[in-house]
Structure formats: C-alpha cells, structure tokens
Amino acid sequence: MSHPSDASRPAPSLRINPAYVLGQLARALTTATENPEPELRARGSAKVEQWQKVMEGLVSGALQVGSRTPVAGAPAWATLKVTKGGFATGELLAEGPLAPHEQAWLTELGPAARHNPRAALNAYFLGDEGLALLQDMLATGAYRVDVPEEGALLVVAWLLRHGDPDAARALIETLAPFFSRLRFYPVPQAPSTEDGLRVHLQTVGDTSRQLARVSMPLGLARQHESVEVWTPLYDQLIQLFREAGASEGPGWQFPAPWFERGRQLLDAVEQARARHPLCRWPHQAKGNFAKLRAILAQTLQAPSALTEGQQRQVQHILGDIARARGLPGSERWVALRAEQQRIAAMPTHQAFAKILQERLLDYPLHEGVDDLEPVTAPVTEPEAARHGVTEGVDFPPSLIHKLSRCERASLEELIARKVITSSEVLAKVLPQISSHVTAQGVSDPELRRLYGHVYAAFRGRRSLLLLDLQSQVKLQELPWVSAIDEHRTPTMGQQAVAAQTFERITSVAISAFPDVLIPNKLLQELRALAQAAGLSLPLVDELAADIFMGTFSPKFEDAARRAAAFVHGRLYARYYDLPKLPPPRPAAARQERPDWRDAEDFARSCLQRAQAEGHRPGGVSSNGMVIEQAQVLTTQNLAVLFEALDLTRTLGPQLPELARRCFVSVCQLLLREAPYYAHRLRHVKNAAYAWRHLVFFLSLTPKAEQEGFARWAQQHLAAQPRGIAVAFAPALTRLLAAIQEQGAPLPGRVFLGWSVDTHWLLKPAR
C-alpha cells in the first residue's frame, strides 16, 4: 500500500524506524543465499543491493525518507527508483547505464561524445540534426517513452515547430542542469498500434522473458537425471560385479580388462557426483549404489583384501535387484528401461516454451498481441524437429495462460479469462486506457500521442512514503507536461468520453472485485478520469496505519458528508449506527475557506467511535481502529462513486449477487489457515472490508431482496465449520436486525477488522 497525501500529519520528532529496512534486507539475503531456484536467488541479490542502498542512505543522511524529494540534488519531478514500502534507493530511473540505442547514437557522434555521453546526447537532440530526428519521431510515432523524462525533448521539438520558442527555452533551462545525468530523449521503435480500447497485462518482451524462465520442475529434473545419468552407471556397476561372478557367491574371478573398466567406471561416478547433485539415491551412504561403489573401489585397490562377508553382501544386493526388477539383459530389465527412456524422452515445458518464444519474435516487443491464434497453433514439423517434440501437438495449458498475459483485449474479456485477477492488476493496465482518454483534450494529433506516452510512463512511477501531509508528485508538476497543458483545450465531447470511461472502469472494478477496497493505484486512474470528465470528487486513499498521526485531510470530511446523505435511512446507516451529519457545504465555499474545524471534528468522531469499540492510545492497531472508522463513515469511496455516477441504476440488478459474493469471501477469509496471529488478523481485516461492502450493496436493494439475502446468508453460514458459524453469528444477527429495522440498540455486534486486543473472532472457542 502506498502512503498518499491523505495520510495524517506527524509530530516533528517522527523518524523512520530502520528496523523495517533491516528486516527487508535480512529477508532478501536469505532468498539470495538459500533459495533453491536460481531465478529467485538472482532477484534476492538485486533486492539486497536495493535495501543496502536504502540503509546506507538512511545512515548517512543522503536519503530524507518521508520527503517528496528524498534524494539530494534530485528535483521532485525526477523519477526515482522506489522499493517496497515507498523507500527511495537514491537512484534515478532516467540515469543508469547507457542503453543499446544510446550506444548506437554515441558511435555516430564520435569519440568526443564518450567523455560525457548523456550531456552529448541531450545536446545533440537540441541541434538541427537531432531536432529533425525528434520531429520525425513525432510525425511518425516511431518512439517509446519508458520513463516520463524521455518525453521532455520531444515536447521541446514540438514547441519549436509550433511557434512557441519562449516555452521551449524555459523548458530547456529547467532541464539543462541535469543533462549530464538524465536522458530526456525517447527510445526509437516502430510506431505503436495501441488504440486505448484494448489492453494487455504485459508486453511481448516481458512474456518472452517469462517463457525463457520456464524450468523443469525439480521432481521431473531428478527423474531425468536418474534415467539419463545414474541408472546407466548403476547398470554398469551391477554388470561389472556379475562378470566377476558375484551373483554366484564368494570366489570371484576377474577377467583381464575388468580392472581397467572398473577404474573408468569409478572415474565416471565421481564426475557425475560433482556435476549431477539433484538425484538423491546415488549419494545416500546406506544405499546399494554407494555400497557397490565402495566395494568396487576396495577391489580395485586390493582384491585379496576382500572378505567373504563383503562378497556375500554383493551377492545379496544382486539377488534383491534380480527379484525386484531383473538384472541387466533380462526381459523385465529391458522393458523397464525402455519405459523409463520413453517417459524421459517426452517433450518438456521448456521445449514448448522455446517454440512460443520463437513465434513471439514476429511481434513488437513493447506491445501486446491482438490475436494469439497464430502463436498457439499446433507445433509444426520444423519446430518439432528442432525441439524434439511431436508434430501437431497442442501447447500445455499453463504456457497458454502465460502467453495470454500479452494478449490485447477489452477489460471485460481479460477479467472473464482470469488474466486480470485483482483490482491491483486492473490498476496496472488502466493507464493504457486513461492515457488515451486524458490526452483527448490535446487537439494536435502529434502532441496528443506524446501526452499519452508521457501519461502512461508517469503512471508507472511507484509512490513514495510521505509524511506531514505532503502529496505525491502530480503529472502537471513535470515541466514538459506543464508546457503541454498550455495547449490543452478540453471540449464537452471529450469530457463526455472521459465520463463514460470513468463510469465503465468504476463499474467493472466494483462488479469484478466487489469484496476488496479500491486500491490506491486504481484510485489514481479514477481521479484522472474524473478530472478529465470535469468532476470534482473527494476520493480518499487507504491510509497506512504505521504512519498515521490522528488527523485527516478535509477530503475525508467531505466524503463522509456525502456518504451520510447517500446512506441516510438505509440499512448501512442502521447497521453501523452512523451519525446524522449536516449537508455538504457548497463547493465554492470549500474552495474559498477550507473549514479545518470540520476536519478536526471528523477525526474526533472517528476516535470516539473507535474508543467505543475498545480503542486505547498507542500502536499501529490503535491507528488502524481510527482509520477503519473513517472508512465506515466515508464508505471508502463507494457512496461518492455510486452517487456521482448513478451506479445504483447501472449496477442495481447485480447488487444482490455482489452481496452474496462478498459473504462467500468473508467465510473463505475467516476459514483461511495461517501460522501466525498477525496473518490470521490480516484475513479478519480483509473479511471486515468485504462485509462492509456487502452491507453497502445490500442497502441499495429493495426490502424483499434484503430478506431473501438474510435467509440465504443464514443457510450459508450454517453450512460452514462450527467454529466459524458460531463465532460469526453475532455479526449476522445485527445485520438481520437492521434489515428488520429493529429499534436501537441492535442485538449482536458490528463486525470490524482492527482491534487492540485479541480479535473476538480469533479467540479460542470456550
């Protein structure tokens, strides 16, 4: 969860606890050194490097954690590398090593440019030849913007061509101090075919790299190693002893080449022990393979020193093998080894993944694929010959699912196919839509396309951990975007498109994932769409309990007033016993004189409600109880969105089913096993959020639907394990009483997720 501008104001003495950073560093070190998967070890090593930089910055003071400009010498608009928890590492994403396309340009500029390559490249794109190249990119769309800074000089080129040299000069003056560090020029590539109507979860390049990481499961790898390496050695070892007469008892005879073959076999075994550690049975000291190997080594060194007991031991081992599966050359042995070879020769997922990688080479690396049918067609004869698979076979479903992550389709299709599996994933793909919608206010097609590129790149920025009511950097704070805004002229038609998109995205998010809070990343996109639609809505972020200091921004008070008016007299207000608030103040009055007293009253009300539920000062749980009351009072954006978009009309037929899905999720979360109390409490908190959504959705349905839900919910809860059915009964009892509009106080209890004591749902049954 990000730490947004809506978070509370801390005391001046607040400092970031380095224990969190040390904990993350320790976990990354464990992964980097102990994880059996090479890919995960590599990721762990990268995280170790990141957290070491964070820790060094904290200790030295080079990083001001909690500030919107945490890296000394870097402006707020610079894109920072941010790790888990919102910690900046001190690196800038537009900095770093030179990319291949930069190396190619430098080669053309000559040796002199190598002295200060970034400065040389930025200067080149301000010269006649470089500006001409940028203007050609603008005209054809043959470029890509991975981080927002890469669009800056394209804006300069557009301003110069459209008669605004003063704005171009001012922008250059702002960027010039960073020419030696940051790249302000784009990445060349073929023109994009994306239209904003369809989205993809990841690019072709990302999918190809994911396919390259497909590895053989450990169990299957051991099986292959056993069949291809150790079983032939074992058979040779057995056959060598048979030739000496070991199967007939003591008194072995050694043919002339026997000792030489034995030494070669021991050397092969030792080499295999060093190179092939996956298979366990050849390395077990008490196993028959190890016993035969040890007796062979002693025989080669001193045959006369062999005891009759050792010879009988070999005889018994060979007898056991003969009875179990047959000795080498026997009919049973031949059949067994043939079946093992047949299984080992079957094509692996790796082989299929390599074929898919080859097919993806025909598509642009940084986009999605419109039609996967040619990519997933059965294996052809040349592919079968190259990769050792059977012609005409289909690809494994697990690889098809990986491939579907780069398929371009509508949001609804990707959700139905379970490519988009959560609201967080939905937030990840939305910039592909909202970048096109918000760019509609730019009339010039070249500038509109550029604005969309910069917008999408900006949405890829990770949020910083912020304190003291500081806000995350906004898109308009980027100097080159500010220059673009001067040329934006939104029309009523464009606002209507934005409003329709806003309603569609909100409806999709709520109907697809009704049991979870709208995540902060998704709220960012909804705010952008609302702004493009000309709507001013108090959408509030989920706050971080670990940095909350008891104060809310005025936006919370505004959202609570709207929510109180929306749910007045409804089931939600009865169940949560909401206070009756005065109607919202006019927007003009809020702009002219923000009423901080109202925000303070809202915070005080949240605290008082939390105290009624057992709140005590101090600790993250105490903060969480207050924040949860704010979520109850504001409905955490549901009331604001339903009122502004009239979602009761569009989602009305779905609401009873959404409520049922929420209750199913509540029961599943409460039944979920977890080894630690903190993890079980997290499940309870998520269940409480789903329950609150359930109550809200049910509040907007007719009384008959509510009563039908009550009967269904009682049956569903009764079918759960007794521990949950009995423990959760008080929460359902209160809801049933609220549905029947019983007088206060309602029986049962309110289901909330946070608690300073052991949560009542997690107490041992008596």
To which residue do tokens 């903190």 refer?
678
The residues, ordered by sequence, that sit 6+ positions from 203 with a Cβ below 8 Å of its Cβ are 365, 366, 367, 368, 406
Other CB atoms within 10 Å distance of the CB of residue 445:
12
Please give the residue that has the higher pLDDT: either 5 or 331.
Answer: 331
Q: What's the pLDDT tens digit per position in 130-139?
A: 999 999 999 9
| 296 residue type, one letter | L
User: How confident is residue 375, by pLDDT bands cut at 50, 70 and 90?
Assistant: very high
Gap between the Cα atoms of 629 and 606, Å rounded: 5
Task: State the average pLDDT over residues 469-485.
Answer: 87
Q: What is the mean pLDDT of residues 641-667?
A: 96
Q: How confident is the model at residue 581 (pLDDT cuts 50, 70, 90)?
A: low
The mean per-residue pLDDT over the stretch 511-519 comes to: 95
For residue 26, how many other CB atoms are within 10 A of its CB? Answer: 12
Averaged over 323-329, what is the pLDDT? Answer: 88
Q: Which two tokens mark 198?
A: 């369809």
Contacts of 166 (CB under 8 A, 6+ apart): none
**CA 482 to chain CA centroid, nearest Å:** 31
For residue range 584-611, what is the model confidence (pLDDT) as tens digits?
555 544 443 333 356 788 999 999 999 9
pLDDT digits (tens, 9 = 90+) for 391-433: 888 888 989 999 999 999 999 999 999 999 999 999 999 999 9
Instruction: For residue 544, give both structure tokens.
Output: 């971080």
**Burial zone of 688 (CB within 10 Å; 0-12 exposed, 13-18 middle, 19+ buried):** buried
pTM above 0.95, yes or no: no
Give the residues across from 71 on adjacent strands.
63
What is the per-residue pLDDT for 300? 87
Q: In the numeric block, which tokens belong to residue 466?
A: 């912020």
φ/ψ of 37, rounded to 5, equals -85, 120
pLDDT value, residue 205: 94
- The rounded mean pLDDT for the chain is 87
- Three-state secondary-structure class, residue 720: coil
pLDDT of the residue at 133: 95
Highest mean pLDDT among 173-177, 269-273, 546-550: 173-177
Cα–Cα distance for residue pair 432/438, rounded to 1 Å = 11
Hey, where are the domains in the chain? 211-215+348-406, 219-344, 487-645, 647-739
DSSP secondary structure string, 450-499? HHHHHHHHHHTSPPPBB-TTPPPPPGGGSHHHHHHHTTB---HHHHHHHH
Nearest CA to 582 among 572, 568, 570?
568
The residue type at 765? A
Whole-number Å distance between alpha carbons of 444 and 92: 31
Per-residue pLDDT at 367 exceeds 60: yes
**Run of H or E including 359:** helix 349-360
CA-based nearest residue to 429, from 441, 413, 449, 450: 413
SS3 of 151-180: the string is HHHHHHHHHHHCCCHHHHHHHHHHHHHHCC
The three-class DSSP label of residue 290 is helix
Closest to 403 in 3D by CA, of 247, 648, 204: 204
The C-alpha atoms of residue 692 and residue 462 are separated, in whole angstroms, by: 29
Structure tokens at 766: 């008596």
User: What pLDDT is recorded for position 13?
Assistant: 36
The distance of Cα 170 from the centroid of its chain, to the nearest Å, equals: 39
What crossing angle do the helices spanning 431-438 and 492-512 adopt, rounded to 10°?
160
Residue 278 has pLDDT above 80, yes or no: yes
Both tokens of 367, joined, read: 């986009």
Better pLDDT: 708 or 29: 708
In angstroms, the CA 368 to CA 363 distance is 8
Q: Report d(CA 439, CA 444) in Å as an integer.
A: 10
| pLDDT(17) > 70 | no
Return the minimum-mean-pLDDT range out of 74-88, 119-133, 592-606, 705-719: 592-606
Dist. CA 357–CA 400, nearest whole Å: 12
* The pLDDT of residue 268 is above 70: yes
CA pair distance 371, 359, nearest whole angstrom: 13
| Residue 7 predicted with pLDDT over 80 | no
Q: How far apart are CA 705 and CA 695, in angstroms?
A: 13
What is the separation of C-alpha 223 from the centre of its chain, rounded to a whole number of angstroms?
A: 33
- Per-residue pLDDT reduced to its tens digit, 491-506: 667 788 889 999 999 9
Q: Are 706 and 700 in contact (CB under 8 A)?
A: no
**What does the alpha-carbon distance between residue 64 and residue 512 come to, in Å, rounded to a whole number?**
39
Amino acid type, 43:
R
Residue with tokens 């470029």: 143
The answer for residues whose C-beta is within 8 angstroms of residue 201's C-beta and 6 or more apart is 405, 406, 414, 419, 420, 425, 428, 429
Give the model's pLDDT for residue 191.
87
Contact between 191 and 141 (Cβ < 8 Å): yes
Torsion-angle region of residue 245: left (phi > 0), alpha (psi -120 to 50) or beta?
A: left
Of 381, 328, 320, which Cα lies nearest the Cα of 355? Answer: 381
Kindly report, residue by residue over 197-250, the tens digit of the pLDDT: 789 999 999 999 999 988 877 777 788 888 888 899 989 998 888 888 877 777
Helices 596-612 + 554-567 axis angle, to 10: 70
Cα 73 from Cα 71, distance rounded (Å): 6
